[in-house]
Structure 1
C-alpha cells in the first residue's frame, strides 16, 4: 500500500513575542503542504523569516499562492505580480517618492477598508549600510496594556491620511505636494481592531493623523505614546538582511518600517502580497 510522506514543519523562535525562523527547504515550501501551518504561525509570531531561501520571482509568486489569495500590485494602471521596492527612480519611477514614508512605522492599507493580509519581501540587493526592516507586534502590544487603558482606547476612532506622512521626511513641503497627497483622501479607523478571531490589535503608524473627539494635545499624547509602547524592545524585531532572505509579516497585527540606509545604494527588494480577508473593525 502506498503511503504519503508528511513534511515536518521546522521552525524556531526568534523572540518570545515576535518572530520565528522557518527552516524548511525551498522544495518543501513550494509543495504547498505547509501553507496552513505557516499561516497559523504567522498570526502567532507576526513575522516569519526564511533565511537565504533564494526564491526567484516565479518561485516567490508560487509560494505566496500557497498561503492565500494572491494580490497583484497596481502600477501605472496595470497589474504586476512583483513590486520592486527601491528608491532608485530608474527602477521605480512612480513610487520612489512615496516610499520615503516607509522609513517610519506604518501599517499598509490604512486608506482601504480591508488592508492586505500579509506582505512577502525578498532581498535582491542589500544596502551598503543600514537598511534593516523593523517590525513590532501590535497584538502583543495591545494584550500588555492595562485594563483601564484598553477600556479607554477601544472607544476611540482615528483619522488616517497619507498626506500627514509627508511631514515626517519633509517638514516644510510645498502646498502642491500636500494637495497632491490630499487627493488620496482620508480614512476613519478604530484605534483597536477587533479581529474575527477574537483577538485585538492596535492600528497605529505614521498615517494616524488625529484621534477624534479629543483635544489635539491629547490626540498627540495617545498616538505618540502608543507608538512608543508598541515599538519597545519587548514587542519588536529588526531584520538584518542577507541576499536571498524572504520575510513575511502579518499586516493585520504588526507595524513595520525600513531603517535608515544610503538612498543612493540601489537597495532592492521584491514584494508580493496576500489579499486581505477582513476589514478594519
Structure 2
C-alpha cells in the first residue's frame, strides 16, 4: 500500500510523517473519511506508523462512530462489571467521555487519573482492543498533550539475544499496578478495590499476525512471572525507559477539530498533567480486538 508524501497518486491518501519512527498526518476531507473509501489505506498506515492524525475535521459523536465503524468493529455496551458492582461501559452508543469530571462520567472518571502513566488499553482482556479514536470536546488551557510510544520499533531495536530472551517471558497485569503509581496516597479501601479487579497474564512480546513483534508494556505490568521480584522490577523499568525514548515517541498537541487514531496493540500512550478543573473532555471510540496476544513460536 503506497501513501503519497507529496502530490498524492490518484485515489491515494496524502500522508506526512510527524516523526521518523511513529505517527503520520493524513490529508482527507470529512466526506471522504465518513465514506470509508480509504479505510483499508488508513488501517494499513495505522499498523505501519502506530498513530494517524487528522486536523480540522470537527466531528460530532455520530460522525466519530461512523468513522470508527469503517475501520473495525465498534465496541458497544458493557465491557465488564466492576468488583464494586458498577457496570463499566463504553458509554452512549460506543462513545466514552474521557474526563476527570465525575458528573460527566461517573463510572470511569475515578480511574482515569491513571492515564497520566504509560499504558496500553485492555491489558486485562485476552484480546486487547485493536485501536482507539479520540476527538476533543473541551481542552485545557495548559497541559493535556497526549504522548504515544511505538513498542514495535522499540522491540526491533533491541539486540537479537535480548529479543530471544524476552520472547520467553510472561507478565502479570493488574489494576493496582496500573493505578497505585499515580495515587500513592490512596486509601486502604481504594487499593483493596483495585486489587479485586481481574488480572491477566500476557507474553512480554506479542507476535502479531502481520509478522510484526512488539513489547506488551504498560504500567499495569505488575511483575515478570517466575522471576525474582527485584530482577523483574528492574527489567520492566529498563524496558519502559527504552521504549519511551524520544526516538519512539510522538507528542500530540491537541487543537479543536482534531482526530487521533492509534494502534493499541503496538503503542503505549499517556496524557500529560492538566488542570482537572478545566473541564477537559475528549470523546473516544474503541475498536474491538482482532487477535489474542500470542508469544513468538
Normalised by the size of structure 1, how large is the TM-score?
0.95
Give 2:119's match in structure 1, choosing from 106, 113, 118: 106
Stretches of structure 2 that go unaligned for 5 or more consecutive residues are: 1-9, 80-85
Cα distance in 1, alignment partners of residues 162 and 186 from structure 2: 35
Cα distance in 2, alignment partners of residues 55 and 22 from structure 1: 16
Q: Partner residue of 1:219?
A: 232
Q: Partner residue of 2:78?
A: 74
Shifted more, 249-258 versus 211-220: the winner is 211-220
Higher relative contact order, chain-length normalized (CA < 8 Å, sep 6+): 1
Distance 1:255 1:130, change over 3 A: same
CA RMSD of aligned residues (A): 1.3
Are 2:114 and 2:182, in contact at CA under 8 Å, matched by a contact in 1?
yes
- Quick check: 1:271 aligned with 2:275? no
Alignment of 1:36-51 (within 5 A): 36-51=40-55
Cα-to-partner distance string for 1:48-69 (whole Å, 9 max, x where unaligned)? 0011211111111111111111
Cα distance in 1, alignment partners of residues 293 and 73 from structure 2: 18
Stretches of structure 1 that go unaligned for 5 or more consecutive residues are: 1-5
Are 2:123 and 2:200, in contact at CA under 8 Å, matched by a contact in 1?
yes
Give 1:53's match in structure 2, choosing from 42, 50, 57: 57
Give 1:144's match in structure 2, choosing from 157, 176, 182: 157
Q: Partner residue of 2:82?
A: none
Cα distance in 1, alignment partners of residues 268 and 106 from structure 2: 25
Q: Partner residue of 1:242?
A: 255
Are 2:143 and 2:275, in contact at CA under 8 Å, matched by a contact in 1?
yes
Cα-to-partner distance string for 1:229-275 (whole Å, 9 max, x where unaligned)? 00101110110000110000000000001111111100010000111
How far is 1:73 from its partner?
4.9
Cα-to-partner distance string for 1:162-203 (whole Å, 9 max, x where unaligned)? 112232122132221112112212111111011111210001
User: In structure 2, the residue corresponding to 1:71 is in which secondary structure?
Assistant: coil
Normalised by the size of structure 2, how large is the TM-score?
0.90
User: In structure 2, the residue corresponding to 1:257 is in which secondary structure?
Assistant: strand
Are 2:180 and 2:191, in contact at CA under 8 Å, matched by a contact in 1?
no
Shifted more, 77-86 versus 134-143: the winner is 77-86
Give 2:35's match in structure 1, choosing from 31, 34, 40: 31
Are 1:137 and 1:235, in contact at CA under 8 Å, matched by a contact in 2?
yes
- How many residues are aligned here? 276
